[in-house]
Structure 1
């Protein structure tokens, strides 16, 4: 079954909107504080959904593995991403960096699970790295902590995806998401207490951004992802990530006033080709398996 065009367009918009809306949020609130509150609300809502849906909760080592994957995918990824946004990394560039993770995940997973990686994926990895370098441009220096934190968030997501693929394959998406968001709250809250000062400067903008991030991105994005897998399979739904950076750039232009530089344009083109090569070939099984796991929302 093919994914309808309207569904694909809605999914890309939901995924892409999280980056500029996240930038609006961190513009009026410290990033770790924003992230902790987002995770707390998302955990509570997912727990309610799991409770009324009578979903099975992970126990024993399954619970431990779910928590570890959650810290990598949720706490470390989003802390890095939001801190990068706070320090000036454009939303479109952030989306591009994160959208290149399927190819890098495939390479790491191939090493971990001893599976063969195709030539197309290797080419995609090279193009993906080139796309990130072109887009970040002069931000890739030792003194630009914004770029460093953005890349850190990407690497945490890759590590978490591979870990989740290895240890959390049978965890219910509802309870898994609730656990992963919940265990991330104290970690991010401690970072907020240790490294941040000040508070929210505009409560209206803060709650507008928070509502969108929790309901549309955390819950709506994950739901669209799972429905898309059932409609057309993981291979087709993950190729939509190729369009996310471009749509993010279009949304960020009027919303945040972030111009589109030639480097970003070149990065978007190369990044789209990289993601297409990494997710549309038959040898991309490791990518498809990794992204089918729970709590992988943006």
Structure 2
């Protein structure tokens, strides 16, 4: 990272950076954050499959946002995190609606319509390509030729893997791409307009702003009734504690330390990890074309992330 970028990242960090504070986080721990993020993020698709089998998808989405919003609000209050105000608050709300309401409302509805969680993860694998285009066009982030090659290879791999899922509901696939667009636009929007926002309070605002939207949608578009409380409760607990709180805090932390394009490359890894978790946890398998696509996606990550 260049010197100016390093100074900017320090100014954007949760607490002003000093040598003593930086020493509190070991280098090995910082290096593990991307890997931990990928595994935890991928597990959300498996939990969503279980959750949408037990309750309507928008009800699951609302429950996730409401509980995570309350939990993170408590964390922010106890730790005395500064809350966004004025124009910054408006930008944080927009970011939350894009990254939460649009993304997960669409993703969970697609999964509830029968599209496997692994396939949704594969579609989400296009996120680095969209982020690269959006960040380059709107945020002025420079992308090297090697990164573009990585995007091309990774994108081709994701496309190959997704091609085998075309026999599923077309509406579900379209919804998955809508969710992808919400994540990608929200990531770039956050990077550009919410600099200086505290990770704890801003993530709480994301959920609190998105929960009412999902409540209205579940009450008007579906029958909000739980058919399996064990499956619903277990998946909701995992989604709230691990995915809603843990992964999004990690995501926001990484976005403050790195440019949006590099953080976005991590999503090339989620399809392969999701496929492995789906096979281990719920017994889902992949076709040969999907496996080849995952290999190409991993190659794209290596090309993009390599310095």
Q: Residues 139, 250 of structure 1: CA spacing in aligned structure 2 closer, same or farther, 3 A cutoff?
A: closer
C-alpha RMSD over aligned residues: 2.6
Aligned residue in 1 for 2:106: 80
Do structure 1's residue 16 and structure 2's residue 42 form an aligned pair? yes
1:64 matches 2:93 = no
Alpha-carbon distance, 1:275 to partner: 3.0
SS at match of 2:84: coil
Output the CA distance in 2 between the equivalents of 1:178 and 1:227.
Answer: 14
Shift of 1:97: 2.5
CA distance in 1, matches of 2:116, 2:73: 33
Of residues 94-103 and 4-13 in structure 1, the stretch that sits farther from structure 2 once superposed is 4-13
Contact 2:191 2:255 in 1 (8 A): no
1:228–1:133 Cα change, 3 Å: closer
Query: Is 1:131 aligned to 2:157, yes or no?
Result: yes
Q: Is the 8 A contact 2:119 2:165 kept in 1?
A: no
Q: 1:187 to 1:8 in 2, by over 3 A?
A: closer
**Paired position in structure 2 for 1:203:** 229
**Does the Cα contact within 8 Å between 1:25 and 1:34 map onto a contact in 2?**
yes
User: How far off its partner does 1:162 sit?
Assistant: 1.2
Corresponding residue to 1:182 among 199, 205, 208: 208
Structure 2 distance, partners of 1:116, 1:83, is 35
Moved more, 24-33 or 192-201: 192-201
Residue of structure 2 in register with 1:166 after alignment: 192
Q: Which sits farther off after the overlay, 187-196 or 19-28?
A: 187-196
1:152/1:276 CA distance change after superposition, 3 Å: farther
Q: TM-score, normalised by structure 1?
A: 0.84
Query: 1:33-90 deviations in whole A, cap 9, x for unaligned?
Result: 1001100000000000000111111111111111011100000001111112112222
Q: Distance in 2 between matches of 1:61 and 1:223?
A: 22
Answer whether contact 2:99 2:187 (CA < 8 A) is retained: yes
Match of 1:284 in 2: none
Q: Which moved more, 1:211-220 or 1:94-103?
A: 94-103
Q: Which position in structure 1 is the counterpart of 2:9?
A: none
Residue range with higher mean Cα deviation, 195-204 or 237-246: 237-246
Aligned to 1:279: 305
Measured after TM superposition, the shift of residue 262 of structure 1 is 1.2
Alignment partners' CA distance in 2, 1:20 and 1:142:
18
Unaligned runs of 5+ in 1: 282-298
Contact 2:111/2:117 (<8 A) preserved: yes
Cα contact 1:12–1:244 (8 A) shared by 2: yes
Query: Which has more radius of gyration?
Result: 2
Task: Give runs of aligned pairs for residues 211-250 of structure 1, distance below 5 A.
Answer: 211-225=237-251, 234=258, 240-250=266-276
Report how many aligned residue pairs link the two structures: 279
Q: What's the counterpart of residue 285 of structure 2? A: 259
1:199 aligned counterpart, secondary structure = coil
Deviation at 1:242, TM superposition (A): 4.2
The answer to whether residue 179 in structure 2 is matched with residue 153 in structure 1 is: yes
Which stretch of structure 1 is more off in the superposition, 21-30 or 96-105?
96-105
